[in-house]
Amino acid sequence: MIYFDNVSKTYPDGTVAVDGVTFAIEENEFVSLVGHSGAGKTTLMRLLLGEEQPTSGTVSFDSVDIQKVKKRDLPKFRQRVGVIFQDFRLIPQKTVYENVAFAMEVAGKTEEEISADVPHVLELVDLTNKMWNFPRQLSGGELQRVAIARAIVNHPDLILADEPTGNLDPVNTYEIIQILKKINDLGTTVILTTHNKGVVEALGKRVITMDHGKVIRDDPTGKYAL
Ligand code: ADP
């Protein structure tokens, strides 16, 4: 379970990005986090990854207080979380296969594990036929599917998808959301930030709405109320 307990974050320049936020996310939930630009969504994600420390309150993940994770243990902790970004962040000089394999190498997996798991995960995102292509040879939707494969290949407990469909057309957006739903159905918690009203309503899952650092709505049935 993820638990934000009365969390506030003021940046050193005095900007209050998160202001007294409390909510829990259960294992295997699919939660959309919505709100205007500057509402504090990215800051919540960075707190969850231990990239920022709260000014007050606690953020915990399966009862581990993230603030208390030692610096040298943070990389190991972050392996429990797969992150997906709007701008994909693939390595241009590596093939699709190598991009996904690299995430396993960094996590200390063996050659055998890598050669067994990479094709499997690429099949899950329907990219078997692009395995030996480079990122520049792929469409936006395909690039995001590589990024998803990379995010899930080490079997994280949680996927954080930060505006993953922000650069995609409606058809590719639909595909990416279907893949995230499939990953959730296979047992992974998903937190999705999005501005896309259609996505949130099509999902029909829980929606947390933020405004000026506060949670202003927490709706179990997927209404987009901005
Ligand atoms: P969102 O992801 O919803 O757009 P953010 O969490 O990025 O919101 O930002 C929340 C507020 O915090 C904004 O006012 C933003 O300008 C500010 N902010 C974000 N990062 C920093 C930072 N490193 N230093 C100072 N202010 C920041």
Cα-to-centroid distance, 91 and ligand 1 (Å): 26
- Is 40 a pocket residue for ligand 1 (Cβ < 6 Å)? yes
Q: Find, among 62, 88, 43, 32, the residue nearest to 157 by Cα.
A: 62
Ligand 1 contact via 10 beta carbon (within 6 Å):
no
Backbone φ and ψ for 156, nearest 5 degrees, come out as -70, 160
Q: Decide: 39 in ligand 1 pocket, CB within 6 A.
A: yes
Task: Tell the residue nearest (CA) to atom 15 of ligand 1.
Answer: 38
Of the residues 13, 15, 32, which should be mutated to test ligand 1's pocket, given the most ligand atoms within 8 Å of the CB? 15
Give residue 205's pLDDT.
Answer: 94
Which residues of the chain are under the pLDDT cut of 50? Answer: none
Q: Where are the beta strands (DSSP E) in the chain?
A: 2-10, 16-25, 30-34, 56-61, 64-65, 81-85, 158-162, 189-193, 206-211, 214-219
